Amino acid sequence: MVGTSIKLNGIALVGSGSATPSQEISNEHLGDRVETSDEWIRTRTGIGTRRISAPQENLSNLAHRSASEAIVMAGWDPADVELILLATSTPDDLFGSAPQVQALLGATNAVAFDLTAACSGFLFALVSAAQFLRTGSMKRALVIGADQLSRWVDWDDRGTCVLFGDGAGAVALESTAPDQDGLLGFKLKSDGRRGDSLTLRQIDEHLPLVDGSSHQRGGFSPIQMNGQEVFKFAAREVPMILQNLLSQTATDAASLDWLLLHQANQRILDAVADRFAIPHEKVLSNLANYGNTSAATIPLMLDEAVRSGLVQPGHLIASSGFGAGLSWGAALLRWQGPS
C-alpha cells in the first residue's frame, strides 16, 4: 500500500513587539523595602532594575501594546490574524485575558485563548501555535508572552521580590513554504513531581456552605520558591535539552548566531554558554534592565535585539525557557523578519 504523505508548511517569524510598564524600581529602591543591596542582587543575579506595573496598568494592555507592535512590523492588518495565543500566569481574569487582547487589537477574525506554563509559557505557546500553521489550518498567528508577577510576589520576601519584573513580548508568525521554515526543531518537558520548588498556589481557606458542607474560597498565596533547587534544576536541564535539540537538528553550537535563554539569572546564562563554548557576546541578555519577566522574557529580549539590529534576517537562534511546573523547553529558530 502506498502511504499518503502530507506536506507540512514552514513557519516564518515575521514580526516582534514588546511593552513594559512605566514604573522603574532599581535595586537601590528595593533596599528601602527589604534588607538587600545593589551589590548582592547584581552579583547573584545580574539584575540592576525592573519595571513594575502601577495599579491601573493591566496585563491585557501590556500584551496588547506588544502585539500591536508585532502586527505593525509584520505589515499585517489586525483582521488578518487568525490565532492569538497569550502565554501568561497572571491574567487579568482567570477565565482568560486573550479575548480582551483580541478586542483591543480589533483582531475580529482571531480565536484567542490563554496558555499557562509559567516562564516556559512563551516557548510552549510558540510551538503550539506553530502546529496550526504547519497543517495549513491557519495562516497568521500572534504569540504573546506577558506577565505581571509583581502582583503575586511577597514584597517583604527578599529571596524572591528582587528577582521579578513585569513585561510583555510578542511575535507574529506566518505559515510559509516548507523550505523557509523558521522553527527548525523543538523539545518541551514537564515534571510535576518537582513542582513544589516554585509555586503560586491557591490559598487554603475553608468556609462553611450549608448543612455541614464547606467550600474553599478562591485566591492565591504569594510566590514561594526554593531558589537553590530552581537554580540547580535550570543549570542541569537547560544544557541537556539544548544538547538534545542541537543533536536532533544536526546543528553545531558554533553555527548559532544567538543564544536566547529565559532571563532568570545571568549566572545561568553564562554557565549554559560556557557549556557549549558559545562566546558571551552571542548571549542575548537584558536581565540588568528588567529582571525575570516570566513568560515575557524571551519575546521581549528578541524584540529588543531585532529593533537594535543585533538579530538580522536569517540569523539562527537557540532558545530555551524554564520555570515553574516544573516546565522547560528549547527551540531552534531562524528569524525572518518582515518581507
Residue 264 in the binding site for ligand COA (CB under 6 A): yes
Q: Which residues are catalytic?
A: 119, 262, 292
- Identity of the residue, 227 or 338, whose beta carbon is nearer to ligand COA in the bound complex: 227
What whole-number distance in Å separates Cα of residue 297 and Cα of residue 282?
A: 17
- CB distance 294 to 146 below 8 Å: no
Q: What letter represents residue 155's amino acid?
A: W
Residue 158 in the binding site for ligand COA (CB under 6 A): yes
What whole-number distance in Å separates Cα of residue 96 and Cα of residue 140?
A: 21
- Identity of the residue, 82 or 237, whose beta carbon is nearer to ligand COA in the bound complex: 237
Residue 285 in the binding site for ligand COA (CB under 6 A): no
Residue 40 in the binding site for ligand COA (CB under 6 A): yes
Got the DSSP string for 112-149? EEEE--GGGHHHHHHHHHHHHHHTTS-SEEEEEEEEEG
Chain residue whose CB lies nearest ligand COA: 227
What whole-number distance in Å separates Cα of residue 71 and Cα of residue 144?
A: 12
- Identity of the residue, 96 or 159, whose beta carbon is nearer to ligand COA in the bound complex: 159
What's the min distance (Å) between Cβ of 57 and ligand COA?
Answer: 22
- CB distance 241 to 299 below 8 Å: no
For ligand COA, the binding residues in 160-199 under the rule CB under 6 A are: 162-163
Taking contact as CB under 6 A, which single stretch among the options 58-66, 81-89, 227-235, 273-281 is the one that binds ligand COA? 227-235
Rounded to 5 degrees, what are φ and ψ at 98? -60, -40
Residue 119 in the binding site for ligand COA (CB under 6 A): yes
Residue 228 in the binding site for ligand COA (CB under 6 A): yes
| Residue among 36, 199, 224, 248 that touches ligand COA (CB under 6 A) | 36
Residue 44 in the binding site for ligand COA (CB under 6 A): yes
- CB distance 291 to 165 below 8 Å: yes
Q: Which residue has the cell 534592565?
A: 289
Residue 99 in the binding site for ligand COA (CB under 6 A): no
- CB distance 305 to 286 below 8 Å: no
Residues in touch with ligand COA (CB under 6 A) = 36, 40-41, 44-45, 119, 158-159, 162-163, 225, 227-228, 230-231, 264-265, 292, 323
